[in-house]
A = this chain, B = another copy of it.
């Protein structure tokens, strides 16, 4: 998809009007922008980094093709010399990023881009678009998988994700965060994610009788049938599935499971489990689906509702209770001068930064420290890695499986209270003394300069 449309235009008009004004002001100095999330949505205590791979591919391939330039020309807003400049523009900057699959927290820099001002500014829209969506969904999926306490969770959300790109990225992000598979075949093809599925109500109602539908399906998939039993009545459906399972057993086959998609899902699971257990079919699995999210899954786990796995759709695929992150990409340094804005409620940390993670004696996550790029925090792991230099990626990109394993390993070391589905405990994130001092200093200067006009002394920031 991404390699066909010229995505250079997938940006806001103001990125290009600002670019023209930078161009005409001769502003080609390096600028650093920092990406972070300002606040936790309700009931969130952590985020999972995802989306970086698409940002890489975008940055590495950034260029305005002829149609894009022609379109910009047609708006009558852009000067000919600026459009000539755009024609030749490629991304030549440096990118530091928290790797995909790592945990991150509120206010932490997860990506910092240093590039000539126009390049660094221009890519904002795409960077936020992809990392916001994918980190949002990875975080939501991590919650679903955690809430299920060992029961399998799979992604059934494609029909209600916000469009095509979201469908594919939700499958990848949710697999990255511990889902076992997806119903989305295109994501299966593209990313090698295991694909899973059962059957729809329409399959059942297309046959004269429900049991005809069951028999046709197990005949097509004798090793891998999960029968949907609630088209007419889930308990009657379960009894018909028992018949079919017995017929299969007589042929040396085994019914893999049944799915319940409506009604009182907790009560039905218990009744259906009893029907199968009473028939001696203890190994027939029960799959639950139908508007589920992590809150349901946590309640079911607490009450030992006998589901073996869950198909989670809409509410995970759109992060139903919190469909966006308050993610921002802010100019933090320009031509060696650290900067910030003072807008009410929207402050952030200036300068190029590094993020450190500290663990305790059992390697459990203890706290993070946001520091300046040149600082060292004793015993802290530096999370921002240089992943692009002069517009080129550094080293091979890890596989999705590796990213998933890295996520699962780190997630296991995060405190249960921070992972709580409801009212999680806030994870400690500290600010280094030097960063605090720098911030105070700039805020003082900006206040003097902008609110009571005075002299603003250009300063250089010591950095690595």
Interface of A with B (CB < 8 Å)? 1-5, 7, 9-18, 20-22, 24-25, 27, 31, 33, 67-68, 71-72, 75, 77, 117, 121, 124-125, 128-130, 132-133, 156, 158-169, 183-186, 188-189, 195-206, 208-210, 216-217, 219-221, 224, 230-233, 236, 261-263, 314, 318-320, 323-324, 327, 330-331, 334, 339-346, 446-447, 449-451, 456, 458
Which chain B residue shows the least CB distance to A79? Answer: B220
Task: Please give the distance in Å from A53's CB to the nearest CB on chain B.
Answer: 14
26 contacts between A and B (CB under 8 A): A1-B2, A1-B5, A1-B164, A7-B164, A10-B167, A12-B185, A13-B184, A14-B198, A14-B199, A18-B202, A18-B203, A21-B199, A33-B202, A67-B189, A75-B188, A75-B195, A124-B202, A133-B163, A201-B341, A208-B456, A230-B343, A232-B341, A232-B451, A263-B343, A263-B344, A318-B324
Assembly CA distance A447 to B233 (angstroms):
9
CB within 8 Å for A330 and B128 given contacts A12-B156, A185-B13, A210-B450 = no
Residues of B within 8 A of A167 (CB): 10, 129
- A216 touching B263, Cβ below 8 Å: no
Residues from chain B with Cβ under 8 Å of A319 in the complex:
323
Residues A160 and B13 in contact in the complex (CB < 8 Å), given A201-B341, A202-B330, A231-B342: no
Flag if B14 contacts A200 (CB, 8 Å).
yes
Residues of B within 8 A of A456 (CB): 208-209
Expressed in whole angstroms, the minimum distance between the Cβ of A132 and any Cβ of chain B is 6
Task: Give the distance to chain B from A7, nearest Cβ to Cβ, in Å.
Answer: 7
Assess the B130–A163 pair: CB atoms within 8 A.
yes
- Please name the residue on chain B nearest to A160 by beta carbon: B324
Docked-complex contact B71 and A188, CB < 8 angstroms: yes
Instruction: Verify B11–A185 contact, CB threshold 8 A.
Output: yes
Instruction: State whether B344 touches A10 (Cβ < 8 A).
Output: no
Residues on B with beta carbons closer than 8 Å to the beta carbon of A31:
202, 206
Residue of B nearest to A228 (CB): B14
- How distant is the Cα of A367 from the Cα of B345 in the complex, in angstroms? 47
Give Cα A30–Cα B260 distance, bound, in whole angstroms. Answer: 28
A138–chain B nearest beta-carbon distance, Å? 13
- Given A186-B9, A233-B342, residue A162 in contact with residue B161 (CB < 8 A): yes
Assuming the A-B contacts A27-B206, A158-B129, A185-B12, are A17 and B344 also in contact, with contact meaning beta carbons closer than 8 angstroms in the complex? no
Q: Which 5 A-B pairs have the closest CB atoms?
A: A4-B4, A163-B165, A162-B162, A14-B197, A13-B197
- Residue ID in chain B nearest A23 by CB atoms: B220
Query: Given A77-B221, A261-B343, A342-B231, does the pair A12, B166 have CB atoms closer than 8 Å?
Result: no
Asked whether B128 lies within 8 Å of A159 as measured between CB atoms, the reply is yes
Central interface residue in A10, A129, A185, A231, by most chain B CB within 10 Å: A185
Contacts A17-B221, A161-B162, A202-B33 given; does A3 touch B2 at CB 8 Å? no
Docked-complex contact B201 and A343, CB < 8 angstroms = yes
| A135 to B: closest C-beta gap in Å | 12
Expressed in whole angstroms, the Cα–Cα distance for A330 and B262 within the complex equals 15
Min CB distance, A20 to chain B, in Å? Answer: 5
| Complex Cα spacing A103 to B196, Å | 36
Tell me whether B340 and A205 are in contact (CB under 8 A).
Answer: yes
Rounded to whole angstroms, the CA-CA distance of A342 and B210 in the bound complex is 12
What chain B residues lie within 8 Å of A199 (beta carbons)?
Answer: 14, 17-18, 21
- Give the Cβ gap from A12 to chain B, nearest Cβ, in Å: 4
Give A42 Cβ to nearest chain B Cβ, in Å: 13
Asked, given contacts A21-B217, A129-B167, A163-B169, whether A341 binds B231 with beta carbons under 8 Å apart, the answer is yes
- Other-chain contact of A164, B2, B224, B236 (Cβ < 8 Å): B2
Q: How far is the CB of A346 from chain B (nearest CB, A)?
A: 5
The answer to whether A22 and B450 touch across the interface, beta carbons within 8 angstroms, is: no
Nearest CB of chain B from residue A315's CB, rounded to whole Å: 8
Contact partner, A189, options B20, B71, B117, B344, Cβ 8 Å: B71
> With A14-B198, A165-B164, A231-B342 in contact, is A7–B186 under 8 Å at CB?
yes
Nearest CB in chain B: distance from A294 CB, A: 16
User: In the docked arrangement, what's the CA distance between A458 and B207, Å?
Assistant: 11
